[in-house]
Structure 1
Amino acid sequence: MSIFQTITPFIEGNKSLLQPQLEAYRAAKSFYQEFTQPDYKETLIIMPTGSGKTGLMSILPFKLSSGRVLIITPGKIIRKTVFKELDSISNPEETFWYKHNIVLDKKSLPKSYLYKGWNSKDKSDKARTIQKLQASDIVITNVHKITGSSEEQALINLIERNFFDMIIIDEAHHVAADMWQKTLEYFNVKKVIKLTATPVRADNLDVSNNPYDPIYRYSLGQSIKDGLVKDIIKKEEIPERLEFEDPQTGRVYTPAEARMLLGDDWVNESLIMSETCSKTIIRHTLKVLKEKRKSYPKHQVLAVACHQKHAQLLTKWFQEEGAKATYVSSYLSDRENEERINDFANNLYDVMINIQMLGEGFDNPNISVISMFRPFKSISLYAQVIGRGIRLIRDSEATLSDNYCDVIYHKELNLEELWRMYKEEKTYADIKRKNSKQLTLFDYFELGAVEMNPNFNNNLNKKEDVEDMRGRVMHIGDIKTYKSKGLGNEDSFSSDGLNKYRKSATEIAAATELAEYEKLNAERVKYKKLVEEGHLDLETYELIINQKEEKAQNEISVHFNELKDLITAEQLRWDFNTWLNDKATEFFSKSTLNEEGYELWEESGLYGGKKVNNLGYIVRNIRQSLFDKSKKRITSFNAIDFAKAKEVVNAKISFYLKEYPPTKN
């Protein structure tokens, strides 16, 4: 039997887990208990950067997978990050499972293997690779290694279609690529769980066709309000006077005239390639950095460039203003990029200029200032850039005031609309708190900027034509006159506390498991002290602790099995209520109806009772329909009942959306 079925993880009541990790795990368990049909094997979980997706991936297989698990990442950086948390062979004490007390017994940890391919010139290497795959419980790789063109890359050439029981896909919005589709078509698995910060793929199609998706959604707004990521402060450089000059005609334009006559791209390129304008932003950036470092000296800046030449110029201009700066780019070698990234992570640089290298999977909490030196045409890239700076600083030296990310850019880049869209996360999070604290709908996109490939040379001081954002070669203008008014138009998100949970059978089991962990931890401390005092040798210590860990793990399994049915029923109800509230508020975000209005109650003609708003009316209508169909109260529902209930909810929501459709712009 699979290790994921025989080992009972310490998840419920585990205080080292984040709220969205626990809730997403509950939602996945509930869904696959309710829907066992192959048509619903693919599910979607939406969680933002910094909310614990890697930890979630490590716990999802428990009680869900009956065999091996394949974790697929879109690239090398994420693959490396994920494996670091799951490397139970080389570093069992550093795995997420052991550090967060998910599995108390080191000997019971799942075995993980990082698949990088094999050497086709070495016949024995292929056999060794297959042997490692067969011995593993989890295989982590990036999508290019699964269906790659070369023999040593293609994982599908080494294993059977039914080799894995479950697939977990990180950053699932990449699923539009042919390689992702080939992977899903090749493997005959029972469950596919996709994790992403956005339900929209790179080709603007849905990540999933499952009508019940997302089975769990945790928004950036909630993450900020719950204190899991940094709050965000937006600041714009506001020019007091700005004039452009066309070098071909010598004509001078105001920004409005230039946009109307020469186009947005001409204005944007002229602005970002201007040393005068860029250095104004740079001085603001370094002033903010200096202030932030008064309380925490490790704060750093991530600056965003358009292309290689732009990155080189920004590096030069930052250095001229006294900052230690470098850049990364796909034009550099892997080794050079890695060295610069590592040096930046070790605080050897104040500023890193990024084109596309520091995207998904890059984790540096010390980035607390984002300087944007490029325009964005969609919320996708705008959001991905800010995402690099929102990871929480958990250093003991940091204070609450250090967990804010300052986002700085020029007003004339016209990013206010994107900020408004970005900030709507806060609005949805507030609505979710109000409506039973369960809601939010916002499409978060890929975290990783797109690097263009312009023609350029290394003469950084020479004025020359460049490619615009769409790859067209264009001449750019000069800044004729520039005077700054300073930073303004500031705006921000706000933070809230964590949700509280009611007492339940789940909490009773969790309390028991917590007691077992605390008892084990006390034993570890006691025997460790004996080692330090010289009364116990290290080998004997390891033997004793291994026995204690095994006993504690067995006790958790026993207590879990005693309350298994009660826990399952309670989690199914919790999942349904969470999912229902999310679906209801999603409806109101699309419909002409407002959840606080009374149109539905008034149109029904039911004036005898207490006045009910639209949200209450729909939820009441749904619950009544569920009772009429099942003749059961929700407290008596089993997994099949909840599956049918979700079908009813989808039908009701579709009906109301047809009756009260979105307004057409």
Structure 2
Amino acid sequence: MTIFQKVKANIDRNAALFNVQLQAYNAALAHYTEFKDWNHRETLIVMPTGSGKTGVMSILPFGISNGKVLIITPGKIVRKTVYSHFDSVQNPEKTFWIKRNIIFDRKSLPKSYLYQGYNPKNDGAKEITIKKLREADIVITNVHKLGSSNEEVNLMRLVDQDFFDMIIIDEAHHVAATMWQDALDYFKASKIIKLTATPFRSDKQAISTHEYDPIFEYTLGEAITDGLVKNIVKQEAVPGELSFTDRNTGKKYNLQDAKIELGNDFVSKSIAMSESCSKQVIEKTKTILSNKRKSYPKHQVLAVTCNDDHAQDVCRWFNELDLTATYVSVKTLSDKEIEQRLNDFANGIYDVMVSIQMLGEGYDNPNISIISLFRPFKTLGPYAQAVGRGLRKIMAPDVTPLDNFCNVVYHQELGLEKLWEYYKEQETYGQILLKQKKDLVEQLSFEFDELGFVEKKPNPYSAKKDGESEEDLSSLNASFLLDVSAFSPHNLGKNDSFTQDGIENYNQALDAVLQTEQDKLEQYRLKLQEMVDKGFLSIKEAETLLEKHEIETQNKVNTSYDTFNDLIVAESLRKDFINWVNTKLEEFFKMSSLAKEDIDLVRDYSLVDNEKINNIGFISRNIRQSLYEESKKNISLYNDADFARAKDRVIEKLSFWLKQYPKKEE
């Protein structure tokens, strides 16, 4: 039995975890419980930056993986950040498992290994590396260690195809790259879980591999509503009169003429590279930073630029305007220099970090509260990554609510308005989704006896409705440019039957056991520390006693979870089903010509009671009735096979409605 099955991680009912982390874990547990075939080995989980993806990666293997786990990150910065939460050998106290009371016994922690290749010039280096790989429960590496032609780097040259049972891919929108796909094709892992903040690759192709994906999706709006990330405020650097001069011909343009004759893209690039326009943005940034630091002095700025030369220019301009700034670049700086500058920035030595795109993913610094954009963006993905660096919430005790707002600053004429609209609507969208999910729980939990309804099947003869790169900026140079969802069904549901005495008693009993054991362990730690302080025990003696007590605590937790295991899995599957249906409904209404709040379906398909219910309520009711018609069970009584079939049925239903009401062509 592997460590991930032997050790019972304290996940269910753990108050130290975000609810979204529990939901993501439940989704993975449900998927691999319900669908065990090879065709469904890959799954997709969508979560925004700052909502706890690294924590999700930490708990995913427990109760799901039957062997070793490989975690693949897109780059060195992310790899190092992720490993810091998994380093059970050198820093067990800093692991996510210990900090969040996932595992109480440090000796029961999974062994994690940061794979970086080996030096073939050192005798026995290859054999030592293979030994470490075999001893590890979790191997963490970045994608460049998978597809290299060098044997001393390529992990696939060192281990067999069945070496891992689970692969977790962080920032999975890179999965289109050949190196990623080669690794997935090589390894025969039975479980591949992809995490991303966007369900689309950089080439705009979907990451999903089957109709059940994403198995879990948590939107930025929900994260803002739940208070897990900063909210976002936009400030433009509004210009006065803009004029442009063609460097080659000397011809002068005003703003409107330049847009007409040369195009918006050319104008936005010219503004991005312009010293005067950039200094407008810097002045605005400086004012905002000064105001924010009145309540919290550690606020910092991330500036995003077009290329290396541009980054150095912007860095110089910030310094000229009395803000300490540095930049990072993989082209002009060594790994050691980059690491030193990032550490200095994290320690508050600099006000501003200037970057191109290398901080687009995985860089974890919650003090970044201002994102200053000095480049145009064509697509949402890179724009979202840049803004995402400022969304991690500041958890310091002395912050005010205003400190947890992220300010996005850019020039008015960079052409970013459409991308900004996505963020502007996210908080409202999150509130809609939360209410929609609550209504859906009531809808799908409605109980009726077997003859208490007649399913309304759509009339196939009813009249149908009419069917309704990122550009590379690496070589951009100023010399080439101008100078310059809710529904409210009434009387449809009642309290979920799963919240009756049985499940409540289980929850109360498990909570009591876990809280008691946590309290006892903490009291014992304090007692040992007091005895060390008084000289009654040496540090080594106290450590030995604490390790023994941790083992006893972990054993009690293991026993408690074993006792309630069937109930835990059953509740996880049920919760996941509600979340999954909500996600699929959102997908449907994005692809269909139907609007949630309209009543097209009531008008087109008569109901027995002729109730005026909106489209989302109609479809939710139709799904509920269809599920009961097929299984003759309320969802609280479903087993894993029932949930698998129910998901198939939901997809069938939504596919039918989508054919009836496709999106109108624009």
CA contact (8 A) 2:378 2:470 kept: no
**2:475 counterpart residue number:** 454
**In the aligned structure 1, how far is the partner of 2:102 from the partner of 2:235?**
42
**In the aligned structure 1, how far is the partner of 2:365 from the partner of 2:538?**
39
**1:34 counterpart residue number:** 34
Distance verdict in 2 for CA 1:425–1:146, change over 3 Å = same
CA contact (8 A) 1:41 1:191 kept: yes
Q: Secondary structure at the match of 1:240?
A: coil
Distance verdict in 2 for CA 1:438–1:48, change over 3 Å = farther
**1:490 counterpart residue number:** none
Q: Secondary structure at the match of 2:406?
A: strand
Task: Give the deviation of 1:16 after TM superposition.
Answer: 1.6
Distance verdict in 2 for CA 1:198–1:507, change over 3 Å = farther
**1:516 counterpart residue number:** 517
Instruction: For 1:357, give the aligned amino acid.
Output: M
Task: For structure 1, list consecutive stretches of 5 or more residues without a partner in the other structure.
Answer: 440-447, 457-463, 466-473, 480-500
2:366 pairs with 1:365: yes
**Structure 1 residues 543-579: Cα deviation after superposition (integer angstroms, max 9, x where no partner):** 2211211111111111112222222222211111111
Q: Secondary structure at the match of 1:302?
A: strand
**Structure 1 residues 460-500: Cα deviation after superposition (integer angstroms, max 9, x where no partner):** xxxx62xxxxxxxx3x2234xxxxxxxxxxxxxxxxxxxxx
**In the aligned structure 2, how far is the partner of 1:380 from the partner of 1:507?**
43
**In the aligned structure 1, how far is the partner of 2:126 from the partner of 2:426?**
49
Distance verdict in 2 for CA 1:658–1:352, change over 3 Å = same
2:284 pairs with 1:312: no
CA contact (8 A) 1:295 1:399 kept: yes
CA contact (8 A) 1:42 1:192 kept: yes
**In the aligned structure 1, how far is the partner of 2:584 from the partner of 2:233?**
31
TM normalised by structure 2 equals 0.90
**2:186 counterpart residue number:** 186
**1:600 counterpart residue number:** 601
Distance verdict in 2 for CA 1:65–1:591, change over 3 Å = same
Dislocated runs of 4+, deviation >6 Å: 448-451
Task: Give the deviation of 1:146 after TM superposition.
Answer: 2.1
**In the aligned structure 2, how far is the partner of 1:122 from the partner of 1:636?**
60
**In the aligned structure 2, how far is the partner of 1:313 from the partner of 1:555?**
60
Task: Give the deviation of 1:529 after TM superposition.
Answer: 1.5
**2:252 counterpart residue number:** 252
Task: For structure 2, list consecutive stretches of 5 or more residues without a partner in the other structure.
Answer: 441-468, 485-497
**Structure 1 residues 374-418: Cα deviation after superposition (integer angstroms, max 9, x where no partner):** 111111221111111111111223222111111111111121111
**CA RMSD between the two structures:** 2.0
Instruction: For 2:475, give the aligned amino acid.
Output: P
CA contact (8 A) 1:384 1:449 kept: no
CA contact (8 A) 2:33 2:640 kept: yes
Within a 5 Å distance, the mapping from 1:143-542 to structure 2 comes to 143-334=143-334, 335-437=336-438, 452-454=473-475, 465=479, 474=480, 476-479=481-484, 504=504, 505-506=506-507, 508-542=509-543
**In the aligned structure 2, how far is the partner of 1:646 from the partner of 1:167?**
24
**Structure 1 residues 62-116: Cα deviation after superposition (integer angstroms, max 9, x where no partner):** 0001111111111111111111111111111111111111000011111111111
Task: Give the deviation of 1:32 after TM superposition.
Answer: 0.9
Distance verdict in 2 for CA 1:512–1:549, change over 3 Å = same
**2:63 counterpart residue number:** 63
Task: Give the deviation of 1:192 after TM superposition.
Answer: 0.7
**2:622 counterpart residue number:** 621
Task: Give the deviation of 1:624 after TM superposition.
Answer: 1.5
**1:471 counterpart residue number:** none
**In the aligned structure 2, how far is the partner of 1:264 from the partner of 1:598?**
41
What percent identity do the matched residue pairs reach?
51
**2:449 counterpart residue number:** none
**1:120 counterpart residue number:** 120
CA contact (8 A) 1:11 1:102 kept: yes
Distance verdict in 2 for CA 1:577–1:266, change over 3 Å = closer
**In the aligned structure 2, how far is the partner of 1:40 from the partner of 1:507?**
35
**In the aligned structure 2, how far is the partner of 1:116 from the partner of 1:450?**
32
CA contact (8 A) 1:295 1:402 kept: yes
**1:50 counterpart residue number:** 50
Instruction: For 1:297, give the aligned amino acid.
Output: P
Instruction: For 1:257, give the aligned amino acid.
Output: D
Task: Give the deviation of 1:424 after TM superposition.
Answer: 3.7
**1:84 counterpart residue number:** 84
Within a 5 Å distance, the mapping from 1:537-576 to structure 2 comes to 537-576=538-577
Distance verdict in 2 for CA 1:11–1:211, change over 3 Å = same
CA contact (8 A) 1:43 1:214 kept: yes
Q: Secondary structure at the match of 1:315?
A: helix
Q: Secondary structure at the match of 1:71?
A: strand
Task: Give the deviation of 1:449 after TM superposition.
Answer: 9.9
Question: What is the count of residue pairs matched by the alignment?
Answer: 620
CA contact (8 A) 2:50 2:393 kept: yes
**Structure 1 residues 262-288: Cα deviation after superposition (integer angstroms, max 9, x where no partner):** 222332233223222221221111011
Q: Secondary structure at the match of 1:542?
A: helix
CA contact (8 A) 2:517 2:553 kept: yes
